[in-house]
Structure 1
Amino acid sequence: MRMGRLTILFLYFFFNLSEAKTAVFDFQVQVNLKNQTFTAKVIRILDGDTMEVLYQNTPIKIRLAHIDCPEKRGSQPFGNNAKIALSDLCFGQIVTVQGEKYDRYKRLIAVIINVKKQVVNQEMIKQGMAWHFKKYSTNQVYANLEIEARRKKIGLWQDSNAVAPWAWRKVKHKKKF
């Protein structure tokens, strides 16, 4: 009987220690990817500006730098279209990730380059599936791409009253209370 309890205690501490090592490993990967360029496979598309890649057998959540896409949650117009566009540009591919920093949700903010050597972040704006996220980006290339997409009425710019995702989130958040 006593031997059984010791075995159970041993297993309990062993598995908890394994989880702690995994948590430390994940943190180390995050720290190492800030300001790093690496290749990884795109394994999941969450919405128009968020994906998951597999890097050294570790899933890394990535938020595309410089852009903001319509919200999939809350059914913002073009939200699902943006997710499909991002998937068409890079899902299942080995991409180059240019990590910049981490956001408050521990997602790596990055620029993604696909197998066709396209800058995916810029392609999303060219296709009219994203806004230039001026609150976090002063990059004039993205600003010019948005101006051009608006002028040509591409994608979400077909709607003359398109609501920016940050404004959409603000309105949706107020309705919860």
Structure 2
Amino acid sequence: MKSAKVKIGIILGTLLVGWGVYFQPTPIDSHREEEPAVHKTDVIVNPENLHGSYTVLRIYDGDTLTVNMNGQDESIRFCGIDAPEMDQPGGEESRDYLRALIGSNPVYLGSIKRDRWGRIVSEVFVKTDTGFLLTNTYMIRQGYALNWERYSRNCQHASLYQVAEGEQRQTEITQGIPPWEWRRGAR
């Protein structure tokens, strides 16, 4: 009799464990579209005119961050891209994507210029195993920023912005009002 109860206990235990594994709730993240791999044109093996390694202090939105440069906080505006404003649809998603992309990694800056507000305008790179990821074009390709042609032609890797735009993932950001029009009041 005791062995029959043990066998029934084992069978019931196995069924309950199997039931729990089979009906495990699916994590929300598992329904997300798989993220495309980094495109070969987004990684540059030996970028020219690369300026130092800088600690990111703050990421304001999808195209602006603050770094510590020689003991001073400097605002960096990504060359040639425009991400949604924080009050614009997709603004928070763009910022959060850039935060996840950079993480706690230092950034490297390409050619440096200053805009009329005193911000540094530059291409922004993150070191990878195979070279340096040009985050400007990667943000375009992933659909979290737009190629701002008016200014991207002045960037060192201007031709890569057009390539990224041609392969851009379609998102709320790419289908909505461009940020440069949003700022002018086309809300």
Task: Judge same fold: TM > 0.5, yes or no.
Answer: yes
Distance 2:102 2:77 in 1: 14
Percent identity over paired residues: 30
Equivalence for 1:143: 162
1:97 equivalent to 2:98? Answer: no
Q: Distance in 2 between matches of 1:112 and 1:166?
A: 21
* Count of matched residue pairs: 132
Correspondence for 1:171: 185
Alignment partner of 2:111: what SS? Answer: strand
Structure 1 portions without partners, runs of 5+: 1-34
- 1:61 corresponds to which residue? 75
Higher share of residues assigned helix:
1
Residue 154 of structure 1 deviates from its aligned partner by 4.4
* Distance (whole Å) between structure 2 residues aligned to residue 154 and residue 143 of structure 1: 17
Code of the residue aligned with 1:156 in structure 2: it is I
Contact residue 132 and residue 143 of structure 1 kept, 8 A? yes
Hey, which bits of structure 1, 4+ residues long, moved more than 6 A?
Answer: none
Counterpart CA distance in 2 for 1:136 and 1:122 is 13
Partner of 1:141, secondary structure, is helix
TM-score computed with the length of structure 2 as normaliser: 0.65
Kept after mapping to 1: 8 A contact 2:89/2:172: no
Give the counterpart of 2:118 among 84, 89, 106.
Answer: 106
| Matched position secondary structure for 2:112 | strand
**RMSD over equivalenced CA pairs, Å:** 1.9
* Equivalent-residue separation in structure 2 for 1:60 and 1:118 (angstroms): 21
CA offset at residue 56 of structure 1? Answer: 2.2
* CA radius of gyration, larger in: 2
